[in-house]
Chain A
């Protein structure tokens, strides 16, 4: 399948490793990515102006339509913004007419049925499960990973149509295909806190630390993200490692729980890429996160809620809605 690749604004400077991992992974899996010069998805300006947001997102939909390609983005916020805009541009005829009028100056027009996919969906739909499993060959076998879903792809479910918004399974399904053991954890559908970063840092930090603690208690060695912003929130530096300061903060906050490092935040594209045999350099890692060097190094097995293969990850997860 061929897609118009929509990396979003933050990858080129703030998280180049993600771009590298996505292109390497798609290359290895024969997913054809066409570079189009998109503009911002509109998400950041949505707090200021609905109209500026709708035009920004709409222009991208029109650009992809003009190229005759569906959009594939590795960022949940870009995905959500584009899907949300597609929703409003379908629902509201006046808005659609306004956006089309502006776009027509450039010879662009909004598509009737915009095609927007997130990387996870593409990996799930376009790559046969057997192929992924065969290529993985058990490299990451036993690695315990907490899948962090990211809000803007999940909700509102009737707008994004990403997966079941209250009980999604796509992320764990993909992880299991490369031999990783997904751990069930209560806060997997919660916000990472990035939207309040630099705005209400107290809340932003609290949300992040709550999630890291929960993932650690669930026995996760890796916290897998599939969104540029989520990854930036959990790990600032380019190696995807939480800073020492953050590790201390998380550990100190929760003295009643078993010792251990918070899980290392890692991009799903990097994890799956390593799983199918790409080198760390190819997926933008200058060095491997510790749990991948010694998969059992964190080993507090007794606290890991083991899941048997094949069992739906969230079937008994009564906290799927959050609290």
Chain B
């Protein structure tokens, strides 16, 4: 078996195994809160959906989505011209090369009876496709380097894909150029096609190919007009039917010309073979990587766009549970990590302020995949929970996603799941331990960095509460106090008692109080305070301060925050 056959077999096997694993994931991975229908139910639901999609009106919808969103990339177009141009160039170039050149035994050779890769227009087209793809990759790299909002979500995987594709294209150009100048390639062609071993004839042909085909011979063939004429005649007889002049290879021929002065060195190094192994090796690597991460999007994005039938709203949850469960992992795998969602994310400023990457949807999706596969460690789980909880479900990521992923549904489901499994939201974490526990814990923790660096300080500024005369107006207008049958038990402290705690310098004692975490922020207390005390502002700040401390010292809330089976509303009891 040749290198090529062995490599192809191995990488195809690896790709096939990876794809099977991924498809099993579509049947197995769960985003929604458990318990859910099993694998069989999902498979049946997908089958039923497939049958239903064959109905004419359904088929028209998904075909339209496949063409408009998949091939023409309407959704990318609405995200900006350069993004669309970038993708179209890479798509056209790569698919052109893959179909016409990479799989030519199955395509070009069958479609064109006189096909030869060295003939025009194939030789010219190969250069055209390569240059298109390289231009697109150049735009991609430029966008990811120069645009701050794209740059902040650009990761290793994005660069690996860009580099891999660029490597395949460039090594292809290098391979063609090194074959153009190679006397070894010339000799093997002579052996195969000339049908003569007359040294004079071969020299005549060498002369012509050195002049017109760019071959660099270690010893220049003897030059004469007769030899040149003889070479041209032999060329007409034996060569031109399957080898055009390389000047139409507008990328690799100029390269061959440019490196011609170093031709002998390159030829001695067998640059043609080196580039061959590099080019084919990179293609095999791409094949092996195909089922993983964003490398899969050429398969998964069209599948997802087809399944979504062109919709930009969120409706997965309205599908049958088994079908919805199967659609969700397919959506997760359709991510190209293009970052469009994060560019438009409504809570991106929270990312700028807090620095948790998982606040941005493109990053959170990666965490969600690992979360669904059970591969998040405790810090990563906390970051994922924070990102999930800060999301405001504004739908914008779903509207702009070029792969048509129903991100809104993924977030709503994963948030529902987090509410059961934890890590919980701050109010729920604080609710799991009594006020005195938090008073002790928070007092033992050093002030958070975020706490020390803030420019607005309310609880640490005596003017905020010093005017309090304990008149109880705040408590008597508080709608939460009014709704509680037993404020002392249900709320720990009333607003005016909290102001008193601050007056006594017992900030931490107030931080965990139910009242602080049950404030509806209606500002009645502050509005009605005869002394102008910032009651509601104080409660707001107590929450942020407590959370800043616990956020910087996760060990203090890990136990409380991640214990499963938490049910909110346990301590209040039924009315």
Q: Which residues of A are in contact with B by a Cβ distance under 8 Å?
A: 9-10, 12-14, 37-40, 42, 44-52, 54-56, 59, 88, 92, 94-95, 98, 102, 105-106, 151-152, 154-157, 165-166, 189-191, 193, 195-196, 198-203, 206-207, 210, 321-323
Distance between Cα atoms of A157 and B574 in the complex (Å): 35
Distance between Cα atoms of A118 and B204 in the complex (Å): 88
B395 touches A12 (CB 8 A): yes
Closest A-chain residue to B480, C-beta based? A203
Please report which residues of chain B, range 417-453, place their CB below 8 angstroms from some CB of chain A when the two chains form the complex: 419, 425-428, 450
Closest B-chain residue to A7, C-beta based? B394
Q: Tell me if B344 counts as interface (CB < 8 A to partner A).
A: yes
A51 touches B450 (CB 8 A): yes
The one of B393, B455, B544, B569 in contact with A47, judged by C-beta atoms closer than 8 angstroms, is B544
A47 touches B527 (CB 8 A): no
11 contacts between A and B (CB under 8 A): A10-B392, A40-B394, A46-B544, A47-B426, A47-B547, A155-B526, A189-B524, A199-B568, A200-B517, A201-B569, A321-B524
Q: Tell me if B217 counts as interface (CB < 8 A to partner A).
A: no
The 0/1 profile, CB within 8 Å of A marked 1, for residues 515-546 of chain B is 00111111110111000000010001101100
Residues of B within 8 A of A47 (CB): 426-427, 540, 543-544, 547
Q: Tell me if B564 counts as interface (CB < 8 A to partner A).
A: no
Q: How many residues of B contact A (CB 8 A)?
A: 60
Q: Tell me if B53 counts as interface (CB < 8 A to partner A).
A: no
Known: A13-B408, A44-B390. A191 touches B522 (CB 8 A): yes
Known: A95-B456, A210-B483. A191 touches B520 (CB 8 A): yes
Q: Which residues of B are in contact with A by a Cβ distance under 8 Å?
A: 148, 313-314, 344-350, 352-354, 390, 392-396, 399, 408, 419, 425-428, 450, 454-456, 476-477, 479-480, 482-484, 517-524, 526-528, 536, 540-541, 543-544, 547-548, 568-569, 572, 574-575
A9 touches B480 (CB 8 A): no
Residues of A within 8 A of B572 (CB): 200, 202-203
Closest B-chain residue to A42, C-beta based? B349
B477 touches A155 (CB 8 A): no
Min C-beta distance of A291 to chain B, whole Å? 27
Known: A10-B394, A59-B349. A37 touches B483 (CB 8 A): no
Residues of B within 8 A of A48 (CB): 354, 390, 426, 543-544, 547
Known: A52-B354, A98-B455, A321-B477. A37 touches B344 (CB 8 A): yes
Distance between Cα atoms of A193 and B483 in the complex (Å): 10
Residues of A within 8 A of B543 (CB): 47-48
Known: A202-B575, A203-B480. A45 touches B350 (CB 8 A): yes
Distance between Cα atoms of A98 and B453 in the complex (Å): 11
A207 touches B396 (CB 8 A): no
B540 touches A155 (CB 8 A): no
Min C-beta distance of A62 to chain B, whole Å? 11
The one of A14, A46, A193, A200 in contact with B393, judged by C-beta atoms closer than 8 angstroms, is A14
A156 touches B520 (CB 8 A): no
Give the interface centre of A14, A51, A191, A201 by most chain B CB atoms within 10 Å.
Answer: A51
Residues of B within 8 A of A39 (CB): 345-349
Residues of B within 8 A of A42 (CB): 349
Closest A-chain residue to B514, C-beta based? A200
Distance between Cα atoms of A154 and B528 in the complex (Å): 12
Distance between Cα atoms of A46 and B427 in the complex (Å): 13
Distance between Cα atoms of A10 and B454 in the complex (Å): 29
Min C-beta distance of B532 to chain A, whole Å? 10
Residues of A within 8 A of B313 (CB): 13
4 more A-B residue pairs beyond the given contacts A151-B520, A189-B524, with a C-beta to C-beta distance below 8 A = A47-B544, A195-B519, A195-B522, A201-B568
B148 touches A105 (CB 8 A): yes
Distance between Cα atoms of A206 and B481 in the complex (Å): 11
Residues of A within 8 A of B450 (CB): 49, 51
The one of B344, B347, B518 in contact with A56, judged by C-beta atoms closer than 8 angstroms, is B347
Residues of A within 8 A of B455 (CB): 92, 94-95, 98
The one of B427, B477, B480 in contact with A322, judged by C-beta atoms closer than 8 angstroms, is B477
Known: A13-B393, A48-B390, A321-B477. A190 touches B522 (CB 8 A): yes
The one of A13, A50, A195, A323 in contact with B520, judged by C-beta atoms closer than 8 angstroms, is A195
Residues of A within 8 A of B348 (CB): 39
Closest B-chain residue to A57, C-beta based? B349
Distance between Cα atoms of A136 and B427 in the complex (Å): 46
Known: A39-B349, A51-B353. A10 touches B393 (CB 8 A): yes
Closest B-chain residue to A52, C-beta based? B353
Min C-beta distance of B529 to chain A, whole Å? 10
Distance between Cα atoms of A261 and B258 in the complex (Å): 87
A200 touches B528 (CB 8 A): no
Please give me the 6 A-B residue pairs with the lowest Cβ-Cβ distance, nearest first: A94-B455, A155-B523, A9-B394, A52-B353, A9-B392, A151-B522
Closest A-chain residue to B346, C-beta based? A40
Closest A-chain residue to B351, C-beta based? A52
Distance between Cα atoms of A102 and B350 in the complex (Å): 12
Closest A-chain residue to B386, C-beta based? A48
Residues of A within 8 A of B569 (CB): 200-202
Residues of B within 8 A of A50 (CB): 454, 456, 540-541, 544
Residues of A within 8 A of B522 (CB): 151-152, 155, 190-191, 195
Residues of A within 8 A of B426 (CB): 47-48
The one of A37, A55, A198, A203 in contact with B352, judged by C-beta atoms closer than 8 angstroms, is A55
Distance between Cα atoms of A196 and B431 in the complex (Å): 13
The one of B395, B477, B547, B548 in contact with A13, judged by C-beta atoms closer than 8 angstroms, is B395
Distance between Cα atoms of A198 and B431 in the complex (Å): 13
Distance between Cα atoms of A49 and B453 in the complex (Å): 12
Residues of B within 8 A of A198 (CB): 419, 568
B521 touches A151 (CB 8 A): yes
Distance between Cα atoms of A154 and B477 in the complex (Å): 15
Distance between Cα atoms of A13 and B412 in the complex (Å): 11
Distance between Cα atoms of A200 and B519 in the complex (Å): 10
Known: A42-B349, A48-B390. A193 touches B456 (CB 8 A): no
A207 touches B479 (CB 8 A): yes
Residues of A within 8 A of B536 (CB): 156
A9 touches B575 (CB 8 A): no
A203 touches B354 (CB 8 A): no
Distance between Cα atoms of A10 and B395 in the complex (Å): 9
Residues of A within 8 A of B482 (CB): 323
Distance between Cα atoms of A105 and B262 in the complex (Å): 48
B352 touches A207 (CB 8 A): no
Distance between Cα atoms of A102 and B352 in the complex (Å): 8
Closest B-chain residue to A77, C-beta based? B521
Distance between Cα atoms of A13 and B353 in the complex (Å): 26
Closest A-chain residue to B348, C-beta based? A39
B477 touches A323 (CB 8 A): yes
Distance between Cα atoms of A95 and B574 in the complex (Å): 44
A195 touches B521 (CB 8 A): yes
Distance between Cα atoms of A102 and B455 in the complex (Å): 15
A323 touches B476 (CB 8 A): yes
Distance between Cα atoms of A60 and B536 in the complex (Å): 24
Closest A-chain residue to B409, C-beta based? A13
Residues of B within 8 A of A38 (CB): 346
Residues of A within 8 A of B483 (CB): 202-203, 206-207, 210
Residues of A within 8 A of B527 (CB): 154-157, 165-166
B544 touches A12 (CB 8 A): no
Distance between Cα atoms of A309 and B536 in the complex (Å): 37
Min C-beta distance of B521 to chain A, whole Å? 6
Residues of B within 8 A of A106 (CB): 148
Min C-beta distance of B59 to chain A, whole Å? 28
Give the interface centre of A46, A198, A199 by most chain B CB atoms within 10 Å.
Answer: A199
Give the interface centre of A13, A44, A95, A207 by most chain B CB atoms within 10 Å.
Answer: A13
Distance between Cα atoms of A54 and B354 in the complex (Å): 12
Min C-beta distance of B571 to chain A, whole Å? 10
A151 touches B523 (CB 8 A): yes
